[in-house]
Amino acid sequence: MHATGCAELLSGPTTRPAPEGSGSFRTRGGEVLDAVAVGSVATPRFLVHQVYQVPGLGRGERAVVVVSVRQLTRLGLAVTFGCEACDVRDRGTGALVGEGRLREEDGFYYLDYLRVPHPQS
């Protein structure tokens, strides 16, 4: 699941309960946090839909959005990781929709931008 602790990042959030089994987020420290809303992150560099608001996620960090590789691949995107960078492409067209860089200090990839097309119903 895509998730953020920052309610201000979400546009069009709802406060409905998440579907059974999909509303919890396990942090890298093992803590389980519950989602309270879902919406889209729409900024000049990011467009990501179905992002859950998880209070307490990213404490002490600027506006963190955790992006699910599994969720991206289910939308027809391919995610490629290299030694120092990653990219996200549309599998159908090959168009580049996101890029990121590895930060050595924590071993995580941080996206410079990501523009995910809205899922078709």
State pLDDT tens for residues 28-82: 788 888 888 888 999 999 999 989 888 888 766 667 788 999 999 999 999 999 9
Q: Which among 83, 105, 6 has a CA at the least distance from the CA of 52? A: 6
For the segment 56-70, what is each residue's pLDDT rounded down to a tens digit?
887 666 677 889 999
Strands 108-115 and 46-53: parallel
Task: Report d(CA 58, CA 18) in Å as an integer.
Answer: 20
The pTM assigned to this predicted structure is 0.81
Q: Which among 37, 43, 47, 49 has a CA at the least distance from the CA of 120? A: 49
